Amino acid sequence: MIYDVIIIGAGVTGCCIARTLSKYDLNICVLEKEAEIASGATKANSGVVHAGYAAQREYTKRHLCIKGNKLYSQAAEELNFPFKRIGSFVVALEDEQIKGLEEERKKGAEDGIPGLELILDKKRIHEMEPNLTEDVVGVLHASTAGLVSPYELTFALADNAATNGVKFFRNQEVVKIKHQDYIFTVRTYQGEFQTRNLINAAGLYASRISRMLGLDYFRLMPRKGEYILFDRNAIQLNKILFPTPTKISKGILVCPTLHGNTFAGPNAQNLNDPEDLSTTTAGLKEILEGGRKLVPNLPLRSAIRNFAGLRAVPDTYDFIIDNTDIYGFINVAGILSPGLTATFAIADKIVEFLELLGVQLTLKEDYNPNRPKPERFKDFKRQELDKKIQEDPRWGRIICRCETIPEKEIVDAIHAPVGSTTVDGIKFRCRPGMGRCQGGFCRPRVIEILSRELNIPYEDITKRGEDTNILVGKTKDLALKNLSRGVDTD
Ligand X SMILES: Cc1cc2nc3c(=O)[nH]c(=O)nc-3n(C[C@H](O)[C@H](O)[C@H](O)COP(=O)(O)OP(=O)(O)OC[C@H]3O[C@@H](n4cnc5c(N)ncnc54)[C@H](O)[C@@H]3O)c2cc1C
- Rule CB under 6 A: which residues touch ligand X? 8-14, 31-34, 39-42, 45-48, 50, 173-174, 201-205, 209, 225, 266, 309-311, 335-341
CA distance linking residue 82 with residue 379, whole number of Å: 13
H/E stretch holding 443: helix 443-454
CA distance linking residue 263 with residue 241, whole number of Å: 11
Question: Could you tell me the smallest distance in angstroms from the CB atom of residue 86 to ligand X?
Answer: 13
Question: Could you tell me the smallest distance in angstroms from the CB atom of residue 133 to ligand X?
Answer: 22
Q: HSE-up of 388 (CA within 13 Å, CB side)? A: 19
**β strands within 162-252, DSSP E:** 167-169, 174-180, 183-188, 192-200, 220-230, 240-243
Question: Could you tell me the smallest distance in angstroms from the CB atom of residue 252 to ligand X?
Answer: 11
**Nearest residue (CB) to ligand X, 249 versus 451:** 249
Contacts of 371 (CB under 8 A, 6+ apart): 78, 79, 80, 156, 159, 160, 163
CA distance linking residue 408 with residue 419, whole number of Å: 14
Question: Could you tell me the smallest distance in angstroms from the CB atom of residue 449 to ligand X?
Answer: 25
**Nearest residue (CB) to ligand X, 267 versus 400:** 267
Question: Could you tell me the smallest distance in angstroms from the CB atom of residue 287 to ligand X?
Answer: 11
From the list 50, 126, 179, 415, the catalytic residue is: 50
CA distance linking residue 423 with residue 456, whole number of Å: 14
**Nearest residue (CB) to ligand X, 86 versus 471:** 86
CA distance linking residue 465 with residue 132, whole number of Å: 41
**Nearest residue (CB) to ligand X, 212 versus 357:** 212
**Backbone conformation region of residue 115, classed left if phi is above 0, alpha if psi is from -120 to 50, else beta:** left
**Nearest residue (CB) to ligand X, 76 versus 449:** 76
**Nearest residue (CB) to ligand X, 140 versus 201:** 201
CA distance linking residue 251 with residue 289, whole number of Å: 12
Question: Could you tell me the smallest distance in angstroms from the CB atom of residue 264 to ligand X?
Answer: 12
Task: Find, among 461, 464, 485, the residue nearest to 473 by Cα.
Answer: 461
Please confirm, yes or no, whether 415 is among the known catalytic residues.
no
What residues are annotated to the active site?
A: 50
